[in-house]
Amino acid sequence: MSQILPLVLHPDPRLRQPSKPINPAEIAALGALWRDMAETMIADQGIGLAAPQIGKNIRLIIVNTNDGPIAMFNPVLLKKSLLKEWGEEGCLSIPKVFGDVKRHKSVRCQFITPEGKERTIDASGLMARVIQHEIDHLDGILFIDTARNIHTIE
């Protein structure tokens, strides 16, 4: 049974540390962790969650899709569109704060699935934005670092 994990909140320094790649041989042992992360993301009404946000310094992100959450181990952006667009973003680790961030309109992302298979997906729109946001977390970058029009909602 999955559990809700406590979130690491800004300005916790763990959010600024680059995450370590995961040994593919260890992915199978992380099944409970990624399921707990998915449960946490959904419970907090998020659309993405990175391992640093629950205090784990590893390259793992969860992205919510129309078909449910997917876990991406060691995600890498292979291709980014030349076209970029502004869009409003928030973050579970920075509650009630929002701002406009310029991101690539589409990306190609390679990652390892929970079953240990290498997979590549092409994403555009909101899915591309979420993947970029979560991979930024793995590199110690927060959306507020590049956002404009930052505002708080009570």
Question: Half-sphere exposure of 30 toward its Cβ, with a 13 Å CA cutoff?
Answer: 25
- Distance separating alpha carbons of residues 98 and 105, to the nearest angstrom: 19
Question: Which distant-in-sequence residues (6+ apart) come within 8 Å of 67 by Cβ?
Answer: none
> Is residue 116 assigned to a domain?
yes
Domain that holds residue 24: 13-152
Spell out the alpha helix ranges (H) of 19-88. 31-43
> Is residue 117 assigned to a domain?
yes
Question: Which distant-in-sequence residues (6+ apart) come within 8 Å of 84 by Cβ?
Answer: 102, 103, 104, 105
> Is residue 6 assigned to a domain?
no
What's the total number of domains in the chain? 1
Length of the chain, in residues: 154
> Is residue 145 assigned to a domain?
yes
145: domain CATH number is 3.90.45.10
Q: Which of 153, 108, 114 is nearest to 135 (CA)?
A: 108
> Is residue 7 assigned to a domain?
no
The C-alpha R_g of the chain, in whole angstroms, comes to 15
**pTM exceeding 0.85:** yes
Is-catalytic flag, 85?
A: no
Per-residue model confidence as pLDDT tens digits over 108-145:
999 999 999 999 999 999 999 999 999 999 999 999 99
> Is residue 70 assigned to a domain?
yes
pLDDT in tens, the chain (154 residues): 789 999 999 999 999 999 999 999 999 999 999 999 999 999 999 999 999 999 999 999 999 999 999 999 999 999 999 999 999 999 999 999 999 999 999 999 999 999 999 999 999 999 999 999 999 999 999 999 999 999 999 8
**Active-site choice (39, 85, 115, 134):** 134
| CB-based burial label for 151 (10 Å; 0-12, 13-18, 19+) | exposed
